[in-house]
Amino acid sequence: MLALLCLFIMVQVPVASAQNQPPPSPEGVSAINPGSDLWRDIRGRDLQFRELGDNSGVTQVKGVDSGVLINARGDQWARFRREELSKYGGGAIAGVFVILVLVYLVKGTVRIEGGTSGRMLQRYTYFQRVVHWTLAVVFLVLGLTGLILLLGRPLLIPLFGKEIFSLLASTSKQAHNLLGPLFAVSLIMMLISFISKNLYEKGDLDWLLKGGGAFSKDHPSAGFFNTGEKLWFWILMLVGICVTVTGLVLMFPSFGQGRQVMELSHVIHSIGALGLVCISFGHIYMGSVGIEGAYQGMKTGYVDINWANAHHDRWAHESEQQGLVLSAEDYARRQEERAGSKLTPESGNT
């Protein structure tokens, strides 16, 4: 028994001694402390090889950046997002909001010259209004959830606490991801529905040079859409496509893109979305309290002929020549017929 005990001790002592030894450091890494010093050296080495365009890591897992233990540039991106993107993006949104408030206080609502006549002209079809409002609702939800994810931490945590903000941020992320594809579909439908009305025509450049009449009492001549509306349409289409593509890159890393592509996509996505949100404030302002009668067109599909003559005179003149302007009686009758059709038994209502 004594011999067996001595033999057991002789075997276990070298094993225990080996287990207490620090693990060997990777080649090219000097770390006495196998903890923080080791990972700090690995971080520096990975960054050095990434700057040289060489990934020296060896791994059996084959994939993009699979040989990189620590992405040192991730800290740079996080710092840029926290210190630059959030600060300047939030400042831009606040600045646009303040400017619109000042414009309203100084200029107020632009009234219809001569008041309403009661004679109505159809501006949008039912399908066009559905497409517009679908895109508008999706855009607003995406904009709000995106701003919560980008700016919510410094603004909302002091107000609601970390627990509530965590729940709010998680919900925003899920809603943002779910509605992203719907935004792409709505964008395509908007392009199909309104592209023919947003092509360049004679007089658009003159409208732009006159600033849309913002600095004078006269409204420059315009067709169905003025130059400002056309610019907003094409900005929405082009920037919206960029935001959609980069959003898909961020949602589906299985495309094979690396971390640098993801970071660049995040930058383009965030800056593009912030730009759209800022410009949309102006669009919402002009279509609501900025110009009298503008909201009615997208709500009911009809506008007063006096409003059309004031803001879109060429389109109003062409419509009158074609006999498309409805009298007050005809418009009221059409509205009654529409309301009656919604209450028929076939619709399931009573």
pLDDT at 325 (0 to 100): 95
Under the banding of pLDDT at 50, 70 and 90, the label for residue 13 is very low
| Residue 327 to residue 303: CA distance in whole angstroms | 12
| Residue 307 to residue 112: CA distance in whole angstroms | 6
How much of the chain is in helix, strand and coil states, percent to nearest 5? 70, 5, 25
CA 271 and chain centroid, separation: 9
| Residue 78 to residue 60: CA distance in whole angstroms | 29
Residue 196 has pLDDT above 60, yes or no: yes
As given in the structure block, the two tokens for residue 350 are 């009573």
Q: Name which CATH class applies to 117-327.
A: mainly alpha
The mean-pLDDT minimum among 29-33, 58-62, 203-207 falls in 29-33
pLDDT at 218 (0 to 100): 75
pLDDT at 73 (0 to 100): 72
| Residue 38 to residue 319: CA distance in whole angstroms | 77
Mean pLDDT in residue range 241-262: 86
As given in the structure block, the two tokens for residue 287 are 């279509």
pLDDT at 143 (0 to 100): 95
Output the CA–CA distances (angstroms, integers) from residue 331 to 117, 166, 228, 317, in the order listed.
Answer: 12, 52, 29, 19
As given in the structure block, the two tokens for residue 177 are 């991801």
HEC states along the chain?
Answer: CHHHHHHHHHHHHHHHHHHCCCCCCCCCCCCCCCCHHHHHHHHHHHHHHHHCCCCCCCCCCCCCCCCCCCCCHHHHHHHHHHHHHHHHHHHHHHHHHHHHHHHHHHHCCECCCCCCCCCEEECCCHHHHHHHHHHHHHHHHHHHHHHHHHHHHHHHHHHHCHHHHHHHHHHHHHHHHHHHHHHHHHHHHHHHHHHHHCCCCCCHHHHHHCHHHCCCCCCCCCCCCCHHHHHHHHHHHHHHHHHHHHHHHHHCHHHCCCHHHHHHHHHHHHHHHHHHHHHHHHHHHHHHHHECCHHHHHHHCEEEHHHHHHHCHHHHHHHHHCCCCECHHHHHHHHHHHHHHHCCHHHCCC
Under the banding of pLDDT at 50, 70 and 90, the label for residue 253 is confident
The residue to which tokens 């949104």 are assigned: 93
105's enclosing H/E stretch is: helix 86-107
Residue 8 has pLDDT above 70, yes or no: no
**pTM score, two decimals?**
0.79
pLDDT at 5 (0 to 100): 46
pLDDT at 82 (0 to 100): 82
Mean pLDDT in residue range 164-172: 94
Rg of the chain, C-alpha, whole Å: 31
Mean pLDDT in residue range 340-345: 64
Q: Is 55 left (phi over 0), alpha (psi -120 to 50) or beta?
A: beta
- Percent of the chain topping pLDDT 90: 58
Residues facing 326 on adjacent strands: 120
- Torsion sign over Cα 31, 34, 37, 42: positive
Under the banding of pLDDT at 50, 70 and 90, the label for residue 1 is low
Are 219 and 310 spatial neighbours (Cβ–Cβ below 8 Å)? Answer: yes
| Residue 68 to residue 212: CA distance in whole angstroms | 55
The three-class DSSP label of residue 159 is: helix
